[in-house]
Amino acid sequence: MDPQIKLIDVSGALAREQAFWPTVVLPRAAIDAEIERLANLPRPANGRRAASINHPMNNGPVPAFAPGIDVHIEVLKPGEKTDAVMRNSSRVDMCIRGNGLVTIGQSQFKAEKFDVWNTPSMEPFSYRNDSTDLFVRLSYSNSPLLEKLEVHYADLSPAASIKEAVAPDTTDASTKDGVRARDIAKPIYVGSEGAQMLGYEWLVDIDTVKSKALHWPWEVVAPHLENVYGLDKAYTGRHLYVLYNPATERRIGTSHSFFATIAKYPPGKVDRPHRHSSVAINYIMWGHGKSVVNGQKIEWEAGDLHFSAPGWSVHNHASREEGFVALTVQDHPLQIAMESLLWQETLKEPIHKLGADDGGIQTNLSSQLKAA
């Protein structure tokens, strides 16, 4: 036995108390100053001017704004482009200034202020700024989680790798005829509750759901926000829409790790205190308001980035006299996939394991619509 391996007795040990990262706000002034600093740097070799926002409690191995989530401020000057890169992490981006051309795999589109899009894992992506202003993005990814697992893959020459990957034809003859090896490796049923035994073929030939780069232009999204903005303040849900990617199926995500929602709150709306095991990061697009997180009061305004809900922390948000519009990113889909998403809509209600409890959590939407 390797002498460095230790056997640690945990018999009767109690659950470890979780160390919640405190809520913090990166103000607009700091973001604007960083944008200007990046813009004044010499062009990096790969064209990528970026700063990663690091929470004070993060201890690595890479910068992160929330456990498992990084947020980068990325700046592209007029006439510049980035080299393509391909990673097994996935991303959700929002343009916060200017506009630019986004290329992800075979997809290409122009992104403007407040547009949102996703970048699937292992799709090469690059950006180009053909405008006269800076092209600035907030980019959220699950890189810190993969870095912690020591499995974050990055290919800096994706075009060559793709050519090498598709060049040899190693397809089995039976697959060419439409027969999969796993069709032959029949399941063995164990008991009567659904347990099975499956052969190796099932591990390596998984049914696929196409993961595409999707684009939510602000000019299309914005008018629909009036629907949730117009709901009465007695509405018991949040005044928002999820930017839904059908590839995430029941996990209701924008990417397979994150959902992105855009909320438009009416003036004077106060959420009920609640908590969930998914963390939340809010970018305030317009307006201002305040939050209470684990008893700590914090205020925010347009252009601020707020780490607003450390996992399982009691919190609520309130709008001021203008109301507000905000992008929120949470690792909700990842937690559903791990069967770990706990949700308590109010502190008087039971804890739900979302995606497993029949009926989920019901709002008073039907009564709101009848009243309208």
pLDDT band per the 50, 70, 90 thresholds, residue 168: low
* Nearest-angstrom CA–CA distance, 129 and 238: 35
CA atoms within 13 A on the CB side of 154: 10
As given in the structure block, the two tokens for residue 242 are: 């999820």
Instruction: Please report, as a single letter, which amino acid is at residue 366.
Output: S
As given in the structure block, the two tokens for residue 246 are: 């059908």
Please check the confidence at residue 119 and state whether its pLDDT lies above 70.
Answer: yes
pLDDT band per the 50, 70, 90 thresholds, residue 167: low
What are 16-28's pLDDT values in tens digits?
A: 999 999 999 999 9
- 3-state SS assignment for residue 280: strand
- 3-state SS assignment for residue 308: strand
Q: Which of 94, 96, 81 is nearest to 128 (CA)?
A: 81
CATH of residue 290? 2.60.120.10
Instruction: Please report, as a single letter, which amino acid is at residue 310.
Output: P
* Nearest-angstrom CA–CA distance, 71 and 96: 13
Q: Which of 108, 145, 48, 69 is nearest to 328 (CA)?
A: 69
- Residue 32, in any domain of the structure: yes
Residues 221 and 134 in one domain: no
* Nearest-angstrom CA–CA distance, 120 and 88: 8
Question: What pLDDT score was predicted for residue 273?
Answer: 96
Question: What pLDDT score was predicted for residue 258?
Answer: 98
* Nearest-angstrom CA–CA distance, 364 and 70: 35
What are 84-114's pLDDT values in tens digits?
A: 999 999 999 999 999 999 999 999 999 999 9
- Residue 320, in any domain of the structure: yes
Residues 349 and 238 in one domain: yes
pTM exceeds 0.85 for this model: yes
Widest pairwise Cα distance in the chain: 71
What are 349-367's pLDDT values in tens digits?
A: 999 999 887 767 889 987 7
Residues 346 and 237 in one domain: yes
Q: Which domain holds residue 131?
A: 24-152
What are 233-288's pLDDT values in tens digits?
A: 999 999 999 999 999 999 999 999 999 999 999 999 999 999 999 999 999 999 99
Residues 334 and 232 in one domain: yes
- Residue 117, in any domain of the structure: yes
Instruction: Please report, as a single letter, which amino acid is at residue 344.
Output: Q
Which residues contact residue 181 at a Cβ distance below 8 angstroms, ignoring those fewer than 6 apart? 172, 174, 175, 201, 205
As a whole number, mean pLDDT of residues 292-309 equals 96
Residues 347 and 236 in one domain: yes
- Residue 127, in any domain of the structure: yes
Question: What pLDDT score was predicted for residue 166?
Answer: 53
Concatenating the DSSP letter of every residue in 169-203 gives ----HHHHTT--HHHHS--EE-SSSS-EE--HHHH
Task: Classify residue 117 by burial, with Cβ atoms within 10 Å: 0-12, 13-18, 19+.
Answer: buried
Q: Are 318 and 269 in contact (CB under 8 A)?
A: yes
Please check the confidence at residue 174 and state whether its pLDDT lies above 80.
Answer: no
Q: How far is CA 332 from CA 117, 121, 322, in A?
A: 17, 17, 29
- Residue 224, in any domain of the structure: yes
pLDDT band per the 50, 70, 90 thresholds, residue 348: very high
Q: Are 338 and 252 in contact (CB under 8 A)?
A: no
- The more confident residue out of 276 and 159 is 276
pLDDT band per the 50, 70, 90 thresholds, residue 369: low
Please check the confidence at residue 172 and state whether its pLDDT lies above 70.
Answer: no
* Nearest-angstrom CA–CA distance, 352 and 274: 12
* Nearest-angstrom CA–CA distance, 33 and 52: 14
* Nearest-angstrom CA–CA distance, 32 and 75: 11
* Nearest-angstrom CA–CA distance, 307 and 190: 46
Instruction: Calculate the average pLDDT of the chain.
Output: 93
What are 126-146's pLDDT values in tens digits?
A: 999 999 999 999 999 999 999
Q: What values do phi and psi take at 280, rounded to 5?
A: -135, 140
Measured at the alpha carbon of residue 260, what is the angle toward residues 114 and 48, in degrees to the nearest 5? 60
> Which contiguous run of DSSP H or E holds residue 366?
helix 365-371
Residues 57 and 131 in one domain: yes
Question: What pLDDT score was predicted for residue 161?
Answer: 62
Beta-sheet pairing, 352-353 with 342-344: antiparallel
Question: What pLDDT score was predicted for residue 270?
Answer: 96
As a whole number, mean pLDDT of residues 149-156 equals 95
Cβ neighbours of 42 (radius 10 Å): 6
Question: What pLDDT score was predicted for residue 366?
Answer: 78
Number of domains within the chain: 2
Last residue of a domain, one of 152, 168, 189: 152
Residues 256 and 336 in one domain: yes
Q: How far is CA 14 from CA 10, 103, 340, 341, in A?
A: 9, 50, 19, 21
- Residue 182, in any domain of the structure: no
- Residue 176, in any domain of the structure: no
- Residue 98, in any domain of the structure: yes
As a whole number, mean pLDDT of residues 171-176 equals 55
Q: Are 48 and 11 in contact (CB under 8 A)?
A: no
pLDDT band per the 50, 70, 90 thresholds, residue 1: confident
Kindly state the percentage of the chain with pLDDT values over 90.
86
Which residues contact residue 129 at a Cβ distance below 8 angstroms, ignoring those fewer than 6 apart? 76, 77, 78, 79, 80, 81, 98, 100, 101, 135
Please check the confidence at residue 163 and state whether its pLDDT lies above 80.
Answer: no
